[in-house]
Amino acid sequence: MSLLLQLLVNGLLLGGAYAIISIGLTLIFGVVRIVNFAHGEFLMIGMYAVWLFAQHMGLHPYAAAPLVALLLFCLGALMQRAIIQPLLSADGHIQIFATVGVSTALLNLALMLFGADIRKVDAVFGTEPLSIGSITYVSGQMVTFVAALLIATALHLFLKHTYTGRAFRALSQNRVAAALMGVNVNAMYVLAFGMGTGLVGLAAGLISVQYPAFPTVGSYFVLTAFVIVVLGGMGSLPGAVIGSMFIGLIDSFAGYFVGPDLKEVVYFLVFLGILSIRPTGLFGLGRGSE
């Protein structure tokens, strides 16, 4: 019984790390209707930025997280304005190729600047093991889990109770109708894209305590994040959070009972099985018209 409880806790805490990465990706797709294939590389930039702040300014990753979020907000807004905005009326595959191009450029830039070596932040707080009864966990995992729930709750309240949040929801339903109602479409798109990448900056600060930075670290996380976003329903915030916990649990249990090298196979099979029954994902309602 204690083993199952330990695996359950491990899965939920891992789901917190996945959730905090997937939330930003969900926001970008839900509002801008762009699948951002550079999302993982923005995470990688954030983790390198956290490492630089720790090395040269002595900041703990948690203290550096807001600064990195602001940096990535600016980079995301710049990418939206300079690259995505001119392609909004283009075919979807052209928009995808543009984000893939940004992803490739950022990956190779990181290789040029930092090489392929692993950069690890030395932090005491966030790495110490804790226990409750027979259940053990790392304090940083709990911090990430709680932060993911708080960020998701804050974003939900923002979308529901602010003018900008209502504008985001209007854009996600129908871009033309939102523009006719007075929504500044271009400004909202820049803001939404910036917020989505800013959230992955927060994620970088939170997970850098547990994971090192290297040029392909984004691919390690973002592939699972794409599975989560599609599984939960493209653009659904509750779907992203619940999907993250679901994938985290599958990862934990499959890693123990099936094998660490086959756990991805298990959750991809579950993913394909669910999509064959619900093609729009667990909470997806289909795409609004443009």
Q: Quick check: 37 and 55 in contact, CB under 8 A?
A: no
Average pLDDT over residues 3-22: 89
Indicate the number of domains in the chain.
Answer: 1
pLDDT (0 to 100) of residue 175: 85
pLDDT exceeds 80 at position 94: yes
Q: What is the pTM of this model?
A: 0.89
pLDDT (0 to 100) of residue 285: 54
In tens, the pLDDT along 219-265 reads 878 888 888 888 888 778 888 899 899 999 998 888 888 888 888 88
Q: Which domain holds residue 49?
A: 2-277
Q: Tell me the C-alpha to C-alpha distance, in Å, between residue 139 and each of 24, 125, 129.
A: 24, 8, 6
| Domain at 33, CATH number | 1.10.3470
In tens, the pLDDT along 96-111 reads 889 999 999 999 999 9
Q: How many CA atoms lie within 13 A of 170 on its CB side?
A: 17
Residue 261 forms part of a structural domain: yes
pLDDT (0 to 100) of residue 201: 93
Of 93 and 45, the structure prediction assigns the larger pLDDT to 45
> What is the C-alpha separation between 253 and 259, in angstroms, rounded?
9
Residue 99 forms part of a structural domain: yes
- Strand ranges (E), the chain: 129-132, 135-138
Write phi, then psi, for 223 (nearest 5 degrees).
Answer: -60, -45
Of 50, 102, 45, nearest in space to 216 by CA: 45
Percent of the chain with pLDDT over 90: 39
Q: End-to-end alpha-carbon separation of the chain, Å?
A: 51
How long a stretch of residues is the chain?
290
pLDDT (0 to 100) of residue 42: 95
Residue 282 forms part of a structural domain: no
Band of residue 190 on the pLDDT scale cut at 50, 70, 90:
very high
Residue 107 forms part of a structural domain: yes
In tens, the pLDDT along 54-66 reads 988 888 999 999 9
Residue 92 forms part of a structural domain: yes
pLDDT (0 to 100) of residue 284: 66
Residue 289 forms part of a structural domain: no
pLDDT (0 to 100) of residue 232: 84
Q: Quick check: 60 and 218 in contact, CB under 8 A?
A: no
Mean pLDDT of the chain: 87
Residue 94 forms part of a structural domain: yes
